[in-house]
Structure 1
Amino acid sequence: MAIVGRKTNGRPSMLILILLAIGSCAATYNILTMLLHNTASHLSGDSSSDPILEMPLNAPRSKNGLPFHIALTATDSPYSKWQSRIMYYWYKKKKDLPGSDMGGFTRILHSGNPDNLMDEIPTVVVDPLPDGLDRGYIVLNRPWAFVQWLEKATIEEEYILMAEPDHIFVNPLPNLAAGGSPAGFPFFYIKPADNEKIIRKFFPEKKGPVTNVDPIGNSPVIIQKDMMEKIAPTWMNVSLSMKDDPETDKAFGWVLEMYAYAVASALHGVKHVLRNDFMLQPPWDLETGKKFIIHYTYGCDYNLKGQLTYGKIGEWRFDKRSYLRGPPPKNLSLPPPGVPESVVTLVKMVNEATDNIPNWEAE
């Protein structure tokens, strides 16, 4: 059933109005400081405990069996919609298989109005940021969308998976959050220690070493709901503060909002279990193996000999950006011999979804 969200006049909405009225990075940071002063600073236990280290690929799976709710942030653009449809198709295919702790599903539509997928995908509509505040950086709406959703939604599960449209569940996903600590995926390009000067603008020394900031974004992350309710407003504030700071905006670019989530979590004393097996990213990860999510953010370009030609359009290619204005056609050609299994699996899964989703090419 589709759920259309109402506009709210609660605390997050007032926070946005305050941010707009004050309009400066310094003032925004003061709001962040006040928020932290009134929020528990440690959500994951004793701050003196040893940091959670990265788990190896063969680490044991979580056996707590606690279901998590999948929260997919999306827009109403054709580009976002076709990816969301494929993602939801594979969620339904994997949800009830052995080993899965996948619970309910919500597409958090932060375009402000219902669209034509309301009856196909369970959806809550939330407001975008006020005009001009995102300055063309559309993902800046993501933390604000979570603030609104968490305020208004009734979520039965105690855990949440934050997901994105270009995720495909390749294996049933268990609850990887162990012992109350959220689980995240370590991104090689999120390097807090290499950007300490910038990070310190938002993560003061009194909060601890920069290594307390995990090398992650908000997605994929499995996290306890009450923990996320406390982090989300801070994540929104840090995102806006970073965007307001020219040096930070230039340094972090398209991953600014990811850094903002990592900093916001650290400000609350939250450490994530880092799981390499959470996700794979073709064409760099060659095998799906026992990993759980395919993230197809990178273009896959190959010559007919099966050799990668990244950075140069290949004789064979699959790149989601080729379909900005509408969905890919059914029955995409399979890669030539020699292309890694991960890429072959990705294309086969896209083809299966597009072949079975009703009215695919009419979207």
Structure 2
Amino acid sequence: MGGRNLFFAAVISFSTALITYNIIISANASLKQGFPGESSVDPIIRMPTDAARKGRRRRLFHTAVTASDSVYNTWQCRVMYYWFKQQKLRNPSSDMGGFTRVLHSGKPDRFMDEIPTFVAQPLPDGVDQGYIVLNRPWAFVQWLQQANIEEDYIFMSEPDHLLVKPIPNLSRDGLAAAFPFFYIEPKKFEKILRKFFPEDRGPITNIDPIGNSPVILRKDALKKIAPTWMNVSLAMKKDPEADKAFGWVLEMYAYAVASALHDVGNILHKDFMIQPPWDTAIGKSYIIHYTYGCDYDLQGKMTPGKIGEWRFDKRSYYDWPPRNLSLPPPGVPESVVTLVKMVNEATANIPNWGS
């Protein structure tokens, strides 16, 4: 019990001085993504309607996207920012405030004038052990401490998010708004998670099935969570059992734990975003998250696990994707068609694409 208390005292400290830079990590996390299954996460809260939002005071949020300086990350950021601007123009009275790309390369790049950018320092060499996502919480710690952020709320997004409509501030009553991921399973991994979330902190169900994105929450809450998120991420990566169990979603588990340690509850919005090709209709969702490859034959039939005669997969483009990508064949779902059309519109209108 004494060891747990010492760990808990460390991870909830707000000072970045507690972040240990000299951690030697022995295991690499797999970054390979699998195919999703069915999800049954509760509670699910209905999205607020336009009618319900009329007449209320605007609660502006600042959109933040962490990124490396790779071409792969950069082209996604440029497309994402294009659609952020388009949706903000479509509803100037929305809750969408400013935008920042939090660039954790440690140096400016040539897109600073195109995308509002804060340059954060990366983790020291070797600390991420090839799991570059560990730079995300550390980048947020720096940004929150050093930047002048006018809005009271933060929307944490990602480069591979396409905004399909203006996003309202979905958080309320002190609760954050988050998307429930079927593969974040605190109950399944309770034994491991108790190393980082002691029993005296409450039931394991206090840990919500979320990552850090998409999440909308109060800025002051994120300032408390971010250093803990950083420390828990490093501690999990150092722990062979946690590293093996959580793999490429380790940093997501760390955020969920940090949020619970600071008693920040989350309203789980199943319709916050869709993930093609598994989600076929856009419906009431606000975001297309194109993390999975979309493979189809020429008759419009999906070929999961097999490269299709027609495909769109962001991992096919570690260099700049060409303009005017081929559209899917007839019969492919709306979500995939919309995804490709949105990428094409962005690349057609972004100056100096591919350079």
After TM superposition, the structure 1 = structure 2 runs for residues 118-133 of structure 1, keeping only pairs within 5 Å, are 118-133=112-127
C-alpha contact 1:64 1:175 (8 A) present in aligned 2: no
1:164-206 alpha-carbon deviations (Å, 9 max, x no partner): 1000100110000111211000001111111111111110100
**Alignment match, 1:39:** none
**Distance in 2 separating the partners of 1:212 and 1:171:** 31
Match of 1:323 among 312, 317, 327: 317
**Distance in 2 separating the partners of 1:103 and 1:20:** 34
- Equivalent pairs counted in the alignment come to 323
**Alignment match, 2:5:** none
**Distance in 1 separating the partners of 2:49 and 2:345:** 31
Structure 2: gaps spanning 5 or more residues: 1-13, 27-41
**Alignment match, 1:263:** 257
Q: Does 1:102 align with 2:106?
A: no
Q: Does 1:56 align with 2:49?
A: no
Change (3 A) 1:275 1:22: closer
C-alpha contact 1:12 1:147 (8 A) present in aligned 2: no
Counterpart AA for 1:328: P
Q: Does 1:161 align with 2:151?
A: no
Tell me how large the CA RMSD over aligned residues is.
1.8
Match of 2:232 among 223, 228, 238: 238
C-alpha contact 2:324 2:348 (8 A) present in aligned 1: yes
1:31-83 alpha-carbon deviations (Å, 9 max, x no partner): xxxxxxxxxxxxxxxxxxxxx93213677765552110000100100000000
**Distance in 2 separating the partners of 1:24 and 1:86:** 34
**Distance in 2 separating the partners of 1:223 and 1:57:** 16
Q: Does 1:67 align with 2:80?
A: no
Change (3 A) 1:305 1:146: same
Match of 1:15 among 12, 18, 22: 18
C-alpha contact 2:25 2:129 (8 A) present in aligned 1: no
Displacement after TM superposition at 1:342 (Å): 0.3
Q: Does 1:304 align with 2:293?
A: no
TM-score normalized by structure 1? Answer: 0.86
Question: In percent, how many aligned pairs have the same letter?
Answer: 67
**Alignment match, 1:345:** 338
C-alpha contact 2:271 2:284 (8 A) present in aligned 1: yes
Per the alignment, in what secondary structure is the counterpart of residue 211 of structure 2?
Answer: coil
Q: Does 1:274 align with 2:268?
A: yes
**Alignment match, 1:222:** 216
**Distance in 2 separating the partners of 1:59 and 1:119:** 36
Per the alignment, in what secondary structure is the counterpart of residue 188 of structure 2?
Answer: helix
Counterpart AA for 2:76: Q
C-alpha contact 2:156 2:214 (8 A) present in aligned 1: yes
**Distance in 2 separating the partners of 1:111 and 1:361:** 20
C-alpha contact 1:301 1:318 (8 A) present in aligned 2: yes
**Alignment match, 2:353:** 360
**Alignment match, 1:32:** none
